[in-house]
A and B are shown apart, each in its own frame.
Chain A
Amino acid sequence: MPGDYRFHLAVGSRFENIELVQVVLRDCLQRIGMDEDAQHWVDVAVREALANAIKHGNLQDPAKQVHVDLAVEGSDLVIRVEDEGVGFDPSLLGDPLAPENLLRPNGRGIFYMRSFMDDITYGSGPGGGTMVTLRKRLTGPQTDPGDTSD
């Protein structure tokens, strides 16, 4: 059933909690029927979103939570990651491919998210923090969850 491909998690702002989310995410992606390669890249993209939420959004304040929602909407896998920070303007980021930025140690996370997902958008969540929405088009059997036995 489509509901099998939906979860909500709220975790404290600690980097080790990224691994907890990954366990649940991996299980869900496998049940959807996503191939190993695609699972890996979605995994990396979500890692980047979580790391940004913990580090830049919630400033590693363990009292603040990161909310993760996953759902299959039509033919898209949709993952939303929301922090409890003060908001963020992604247009202020530099181009990591620009020669002057190539050897910078940071500034590649959102670029990787854009590379590995079909679409990402930034906005404000209900609590005023930053919410990034990551979309991946599904192909194969997972596009019709009702046909997939579980």
Chain B
Amino acid sequence: MDVSKRQVGDVTILDLKGKITIGSGDVQLRNAVQEVMNSGATKVLINMAGVSTIDSSGIGELVSAYTTATNRGARLKLVNLPAKVTDILTITQLITVFDVYDSEDAGIKSFG
């Protein structure tokens, strides 16, 4: 999986591309979130548009990212979920946990 970081105002956006699966993408996601948290980011938007496959390890990393951000007083939100990622979050009821937006603009504005 490829992770790239960019900044729009005070919102840090992580663009994910590829598979978030055990042993590869899950570790990259963890490291990327840890890095932005350590840099002091408080508004983080994860752009999932390029995610082709996610497994339970990838979902676990998203959950860990969410709880890490929340525990540090930061906010982490998701944007541009592919349909299959929405499905996999829905069946484990995690879709109700995350703040999810259909567009980057809406996600950025939601931070206020």
Contact = CB atoms under 8 A, between A and B. Distances in A.
A103 B23 contact: no
Chain A, interface size: which category?
20 to 34
Interface in B17-45: 21-24
Interface stretch (B7-15, B72-80, B92-100, B103-111): B92-100
Interface of B is mostly: helix
Given A16-B23, A18-B22, A44-B88, A103 B97 contact: yes
A131 B55 CA distance: 20
Interface string B47-86: 0000001011101110110110000000000000000100
Interface in A24-59: 40, 43-44, 47-48, 51, 55
Interface of B: 21-24, 53, 55-57, 59-61, 63-64, 66-67, 84, 88, 91-94, 97
24 contacts: A15-B24, A18-B22, A40-B84, A44-B55, A47-B21, A47-B53, A48-B56, A51-B55, A55-B22, A97-B92, A97-B93, A102-B92, A102-B93, A105-B64, A106-B56, A106-B57, A108-B56, A108-B59, A108-B60, A109-B55, A109-B56, A111-B91, A112-B56, A112-B92
Interface of A: 14-16, 18, 40, 43-44, 47-48, 51, 55, 96-97, 102-106, 108-109, 111-112, 115
